[in-house]
Amino acid sequence: MAVSVKPRGGGPSAAPGRTGGERALFDAFTHLKSGKEAARFLRDLATPGELAAFAERWRIARLLDEGKLSYRDIAAATGASTTTVGRVARFLREENHQGYRLVLDRMAGKSGAENE
């Protein structure tokens, strides 16, 4: 008797950005009306460690965008590894998502909407 085994994680359709659960989560963020509401939602959704990691990456992105510090200086200032700084830098400058860039530009008053 042959047994069919489903791949863990739901197979290729479970790749990042492709699951219905992820889309529902992303859409949930569009219903938040303030930073205070976002904080309430994220504190329910994520662990303190996950929030700290998000905050660290966001601080790194802002420091990279300022362009005043080296990767090593940013790592020292944030307590992050240089690998983390490099990964954030790659997503800030090279990856297709351009989420960091979108938010940084909007916060700076630039349009940043061309990637939506």
Average pLDDT, stretch 84-98? 95
pTM: 0.76
- Give Cβ neighbours of residue 98 (< 8 Å, ≥ 6 apart): 115
Q: What is the 3-state secondary structure (H, E, C) of 36-61?
A: HHHHHHHHHHCCHHHHHHHHHHHHHH
Q: Give CA–CA dist 116/22, Å, rounded.
A: 17
Tokens 């700290």 identify what position? 52
pLDDT digits (tens, 9 = 90+) for 48-90: 999 999 999 999 999 999 999 999 999 999 999 999 999 999 9
User: What single letter denotes the amino acid at residue 86?
Assistant: G
Residue 10 banded pLDDT, cuts 50, 70, 90: very low
Q: Give CA–CA dist 28/81, Å, rounded.
A: 31
